[in-house]
Amino acid sequence: MIDRDDLRAAVASGLLTEKQTADLTALAHSRKGAREDLSAGDEPFELFRGFNEIFIMVGLGILAAGWVGITAAFSGRVNDTLLTHSAMSSIVAVVLLWLLSEYFIRRRRMVGPAILLSLLFGANALVGFSANFSQPFMVMRDDYSSLPLPVALATVAMAVFWVRFRVPFAMAMIAVALFVVAVMIAAISNGSPEGVSSLFMLSANGPFAWITLALGLLVFGVAMYFDMSDPHRVTRRSAQGFWLHVVAAPALVNTVGLTLLAREGAGSQAMLLGFLALFAIVAIIIDRRSFLIAAIGYVVTLALAVFEIDAALMVVFGLGVFLLLLGAFWERIRARLLLLLPSFMPLDRLPPSH
């Protein structure tokens, strides 16, 4: 094992620069936790690295609740300058959250607090921009034309936050925010969607389903970019891809699946099963179990909502057996699939088959 004395000797001899040594040390620290004690081929995932992170997250939650309470109590005394007070409160909160992020994310490299700080930073940005750029009276009259601007500005703020701290969960928040902005702009131009199904059915009126499909493909492409830049999944880029897959999968599965379900006839059901099978194959090839979970969750929800209870329970039981078998033989199935792929595909940029 290489220790600190070895690294110092490497710098002194000119074999490594100080920057290379710092990057190597940071990589070793980032691998420790999510990659530690994982079997070959397993997908790294962690929400926190120990109870101390939970302890800190509880403290951050209490601090945020106290800040909201103090801000709300103080704003009630200065109603004539409510917007100015909201702006000042948001600015102070941004500074505080940024300093906390510098310590807990960049210095301590904590996972759980990084996720919570991302949520708090995004929520604060959204509240601050909404208080100063949206029109409350228009919103009360179901006129949401003033909302896309503050949501877009909050998305830009989250992008700045991500550039500085590279929190993977923040990337997922940016993807969801882009979807919200796109849907809002489409709703202003074409009218509000008739229901949730309009967001996913390509045959519905309006462009909502096409926006969902396009953004799903875009997010999937970005996720694959991060995955293929880190095929061995030893850096934070792998976590970026993980959270983006979590966002992309529901958009793709729900859009195509619900559109096929809306079509009448046994052919549409066969096409739906074929699409879900193709989805599973893609998830296995790219070695992302998280990408497949969205499809399985969709099928379970669909079965419980559409089928009779007996048929739905049979479907759920069958999916449970399928997941257990797939989890047990994932690597074997994936090795066989990779052998069937053509040689021109960039297999070297996918996780290796063990």
Amino acid identity, position 292: L
Which of 16-25, 102-111, 140-149 tops mean pLDDT?
102-111
Contact of 299 with 315, CB cutoff 8 Å: yes
- Between CA 288 and CA 45 the distance in angstroms is 11
- Decide which of 196 and 255 is more confident: 255
Cα 322 to Cα 59, 317, 329, distances in angstroms: 41, 9, 11
Q: Which pLDDT band holds residue 61 (cuts at 50, 70, 90)?
A: very high
Q: List strand residue ranges (DSSP E) for 201-242, in order.
A: none
- Between CA 40 and CA 54 the distance in angstroms is 28
Cα 325 to Cα 63, 291, 320, 328, 333, distances in angstroms: 45, 17, 9, 5, 10
Contact of 262 with 276, CB cutoff 8 Å: no
pTM for this entry: 0.80
Q: Which pLDDT band holds residue 101 (cuts at 50, 70, 90)?
A: very high
pLDDT higher than threshold 80 for residue 353 = no
% residues pLDDT > 90 (the chain): 25
Q: Which pLDDT band holds residue 267 (cuts at 50, 70, 90)?
A: low
% residues pLDDT > 70 (the chain): 74
Domain ranges across the chain: 1-29, 48-188, 193-354
pLDDT higher than threshold 50 for residue 34 = no
Of residues 216, 189, 192, the one with CA closest to residue 204: 192
Contact of 105 with 167, CB cutoff 8 Å: yes
Cα 301 to Cα 46, 255, 281, 295, 297, distances in angstroms: 26, 14, 21, 10, 6
- Decide which of 305 and 253 is more confident: 253
**Residues ≥6 apart with Cβ < 8 Å to 90:** 124, 125, 127, 128, 129, 131
Q: Which pLDDT band holds residue 202 (cuts at 50, 70, 90)?
A: low
- A 10 A CB-CB count for 316 gives 15
Contact of 268 with 201, CB cutoff 8 Å: no
Structure tokens at 74: 């103080």
Would you give the DSSP letter of residue 353? Answer: P
Give the helix/strand (H/E) hosting 283. helix 266-286
Which of 25-29, 178-182, 270-274 tops mean pLDDT?
178-182
The pLDDT assigned to 81 comes to 47
Contact of 45 with 103, CB cutoff 8 Å: no
What's the chain's length in residues? 354
- Between CA 114 and CA 120 the distance in angstroms is 10
The pLDDT assigned to 132 comes to 79
Structure tokens at 127: 């509240």
